[in-house]
Amino acid sequence: MFKKINTIAAAIIFIFFLIFLQQPSQHLKNNNKENVLPAQTSKTRNEITLEHNSSFVKVWWVEVTDIDKLTLLANFDKKLKSELVKTQNNCQLLVSAGFYDKSEKPIGLFITEGKTLNKWQTNKILNAVLSVNSMAIPRITRTPPKDLLRIGLQSGPLLIENSQPLEPFLLEDKNARRVVALTTGENKLYFAIFFDPTSLYSGPYLKDMAKLVQKFSEKINIKIADALNLDGGAASSFYADSLKLTEITTVGSFFCMQK
């Protein structure tokens, strides 16, 4: 009788032991899922932190994957908030663009959808042009290209030229959030914003931007051919996927890639 009970008890213990062995395996599988998914999600958030001069600079960036859907929007007269501009124009990507003067007009060349709103001006600081021609090729050049341009924006200073960092001509400099346009030798266009992670409207000095762009290029393994500074500081905004930075003062113009 005791032998029979002992046999049954042993069988029950053996069954529970098998169940116990299976449980950690299932639990580990679930934990692996939880660990992998956030990592995959984070890859869609293009953001890194750079160390420079004993401080840190956060960088968000995005590639313009469809140049044909990129537009340059004037906002000098309307003075709309970036969030409203994004909604009204169905923008997947929205980035602050060029500088404007006290009369609320663009400084230098401004071409949108082939229409020239303002002509090129010789300027030591705003010394280059970001353009997109009729063949959907983005370029950053010292002077306006001679071919037919759909988009043309004068800005500056030029930070990187032919993969070489440049020393910008500056009358004054201060810490500020910086928006940059970047092109590669393969004619890919990127926009990036550099800012202080502890003070979102602050950021690096302009004189340090060429070195920071180089560090950024090396860290994300994208060889930047040319880089151009765009309007930044309080008049800057950046919307891309889940990344969002809004402006304090009016943004004169925007680059919008529609959905």
Provide the pLDDT confidence category of residue 170 given band limits of 50, 70 and 90: confident
Average pLDDT score over residue span 162-186: 93
Q: Is residue 253 scored above 60 in pLDDT?
A: yes
Average pLDDT score over residue span 29-48: 43
**Residue 32 counted as domain residue:** no
Q: Between 210 and 170, whose confidence is greater?
A: 210
Give the strands of the sheet with 70-74, arranged side by side: 70-74, 253-258, 91-96, 238-240, 243-245
**Residue 34 counted as domain residue:** no
The predicted pLDDT at position 54 comes to: 86
For residue range 195-205, what is the model confidence (pLDDT) as tens digits? 999 998 899 99
**Mean pLDDT across the chain:** 86
Q: Answer for the pair 180, 228: CB distance below 8 angstroms, yes or no.
A: yes
Provide the pLDDT confidence category of residue 37 given band limits of 50, 70 and 90: very low
Q: What tokens does 175 get?
A: 């810490």
**Residue 41 counted as domain residue:** no
**Residue 7 counted as domain residue:** no
Q: Which domain holds residue 159?
A: 47-258
Report which of 222, 141, 211, 149 is spatially closest to residue 186, judged by C-alpha positions.
Answer: 222
In total, how many domains does the chain have? Answer: 1
**Residue 94 counted as domain residue:** yes
Report which of 90, 93, 39, 97 is spatially closest to residue 62, judged by C-alpha positions.
Answer: 93
Report the alpha-carbon angle 68-132-160, nearest 5. 125
